[in-house]
């Protein structure tokens, strides 16, 4: 794979040229970029894959939802639908299905993650009281949402230059920051490292809680934040296990536990490291990011789980991966008419150096300053 990437370097140069030209056209005003006077907060990264955008978006939701009517807007990566959609409440979904049935229309319905994507489905499950929307055309989506919302959180929108957010938060994954910054397809970079200048806030995410001051200084030198950019360091705070309905589970993973770990995320290493601190017995079923799980995948997991001799065993997955699991699959894979014991490991963002209040102030000051205006230009 390493040698293949070297062979792909010429294509990365071509890709980089296109990206640089596109950014220049936006910076020069040749391509239109819309600015909204209501607060628009963008969370994104320069690389393909997970840098912790969803946990950061959830952090912002918790920070803001009590005082403002907010919505999230995503592209809805991996969904089987198109256009502008807002996640429905459970009551609305049932009502719509009944109306379709009564009218003679097809009652076929996608799983929520298939309709709006993994991350938006996760947001909707955890925060059913806020609007969760998807739209490929972010400008069109923002115009619709801003009619009756105070502010919008745009998830994974750093490269969406058609919108100029009022506050842009850029994440760098600690576990990848020392890797070569090659552009796609030879590397994982969506745009050159120099593109970080557009952010007002830069966060190095997924840091070990034990990271030293000297290492933070070294990383800061690598990032080279500009004078107007604030740099923060965060780590992952793993929460207690939950069932698939979001209820806390009274389960402890210890050295006698065998964990069957099911992941389809970009970087499962931090989770693997965390679990390995509790048990050496981990059987990892690892799939690519956003992998559409199938009954065959779950049947394989169920067979290995059933055959394993451990008296204390459990299946753990991530919140994002849980959105792509069918309830019927878990029933078929279980024993004695019981479902497979699948539990979810939620995560949250934890700011290091007691810097959370400083970050909160930046966000809140920006939102307060811009919640009175209602226009676009």
10 against 333, higher pLDDT: 10
Residues 98 and 187 in one domain: yes
Residue 180 has pLDDT above 90, yes or no: no
> For the segment 253-307, what is each residue's pLDDT rounded down to a tens digit?
999 999 999 999 988 999 999 999 999 999 999 999 989 999 999 999 999 999 9
Q: What is the pLDDT of residue 327?
A: 79
* Residue 329 lies in domain: 258-345
Q: What is the pLDDT of residue 2?
A: 62
Task: Give domain status of residue 251, yes or no.
Answer: no
Residue 201 has pLDDT above 90, yes or no: yes
Residues 201 and 123 in one domain: yes
Residue 337 has pLDDT above 70, yes or no: no
Q: 126 vs 55, 96, 99, 170, 269, CA distance in Å?
A: 11, 22, 27, 23, 24
Mean pLDDT of the chain: 89
Rounded Cα distance, 149 and 64, in Å: 12
Rounded Cα distance, 314 and 297, in Å: 17
Q: What is the pLDDT of residue 333?
A: 55
Task: Give domain status of residue 319, yes or no.
Answer: yes
Residue 50 has pLDDT above 90, yes or no: no
Task: Give domain status of residue 363, yes or no.
Answer: yes
Taking the mean position of all CA atoms in its chain, how far away is CA 272?
Answer: 18
Q: Strand 258-263 to strand 282-286: parallel, antiparallel, or no bridges (unpaired)? A: parallel
Task: Give domain status of residue 28, yes or no.
Answer: no
Taking the mean position of all CA atoms in its chain, how far away is CA 376?
Answer: 27
Q: What is the pLDDT of residue 335?
A: 54
Task: Give domain status of residue 170, yes or no.
Answer: yes
Residue 100 has pLDDT above 90, yes or no: no
Q: What is the pLDDT of residue 240?
A: 93
What average pLDDT does this structure show over 74-97?
74
Residues 338 and 360 in one domain: no
Q: What is the pLDDT of residue 106?
A: 38
Percent of the chain with pLDDT over 90: 77
- For residue 106, give every residue at least 6 positions away whose Cβ sits within 8 Å of its Cβ, in sequence order, or none: 100
CATH of the domain at 336: 3.40.50
Residue 329 has pLDDT above 60, yes or no: yes
Q: 3-state class of 219 per DSSP?
A: helix
DSSP assignment of 55-121 equals: HHHHHHHHHHTTTS-EEEEE--TT-S--S-EEPPPHHHHHHHHHHHHHHT-------HHHHH-HHHH
Residues 323 and 358 in one domain: no
- For residue 301, give every residue at least 6 positions away whose Cβ sits within 8 Å of its Cβ, in sequence order, or none: 260, 262, 285, 315, 333, 340
> Could you tell me the pLDDT band of residue 336, with boundaries at 50, 70 and 90?
low
Task: Give domain status of residue 264, yes or no.
Answer: yes
* Total number of domains constituting the chain: 2
Residues 81 and 160 in one domain: yes
Residue 92 has pLDDT above 50, yes or no: no
Report DSSP state, residue 340. P
> For the segment 204-251, what is each residue's pLDDT rounded down to a tens digit?
999 999 999 999 999 999 999 999 999 999 999 999 999 998 889 999
Rounded Cα distance, 212 and 342, in Å: 36
């Amino acid at each position: 794979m390493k040698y293949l990437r070297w062979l792909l370097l010429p294509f990365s140069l071509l890709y980089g040229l296109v990206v640089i030209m596109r950014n220049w056209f936006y910076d020069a005003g040749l391509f239109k970029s819309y600015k909204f006077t209501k607060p628009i907060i963008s969370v994104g990264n320069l690389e393909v894959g997970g840098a912790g955008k969803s946990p950061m978006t959830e952090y912002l939701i918790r920070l803001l939802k009590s005082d403002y009517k907010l919505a999230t807007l995503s592209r809805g990566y991996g969904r089987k639908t198109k256009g502008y959609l807002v996640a429905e409440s459970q009551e609305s979904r049932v009502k719509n299905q009944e109306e379709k049935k009564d009218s003679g229309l097809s009652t076929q319905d996608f799983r929520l993650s298939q309709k709006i994507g993994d991350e938006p489905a996760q947001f909707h499950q955890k925060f059913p009281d806020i609007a969760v929307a998807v739209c490929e055309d972010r400008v069109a989506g923002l115009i619709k949402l801003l009619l009756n919302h105070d502010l919008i959180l745009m998830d994974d929108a750093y490269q969406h230059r058609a919108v100029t957010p009022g506050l842009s938060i850029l994440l760098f994954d600690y576990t990848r920051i020392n890797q070569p910054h090659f552009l796609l397809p030879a590397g994982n970079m969506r745009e050159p490292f120099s593109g970080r200048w557009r952010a007002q806030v830069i966060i190095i995410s997924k840091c070990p809680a034990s990271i030293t001051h000297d290492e933070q200084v070294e990383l800061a030198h690598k990032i080279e934040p500009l004078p107007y950019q604030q740099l923060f360091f965060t780590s992952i705070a793993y929460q207690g296990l939950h069932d698939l309905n979001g209820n806390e589970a009274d389960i402890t993973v210890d050295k006698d536990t065998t964990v069957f770990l099911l992941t389809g995320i970009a970087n499962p290493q931090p989770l693997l490291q965390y679990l390995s601190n509790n048990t050496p017995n981990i059987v990892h079923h690892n799939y690519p990011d956003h992998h559409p799980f199938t009954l065959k995948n779950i049947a394989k997991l169920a067979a290995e789980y059933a055959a394993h001799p451990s008296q204390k065993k459990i299946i753990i997955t991530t919140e994002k991966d849980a959105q792509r699991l069918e309830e019927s699959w878990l029933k078929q894979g279980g024993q004695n008419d019981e479902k497979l014991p699948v539990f979810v490991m939620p995560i949250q963002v934890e700011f290091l150096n007691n810097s959370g209040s400083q970050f909160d102030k930046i966000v809140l000051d920006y939102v307060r300053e811009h919640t009175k205006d209602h226009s676009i230009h």
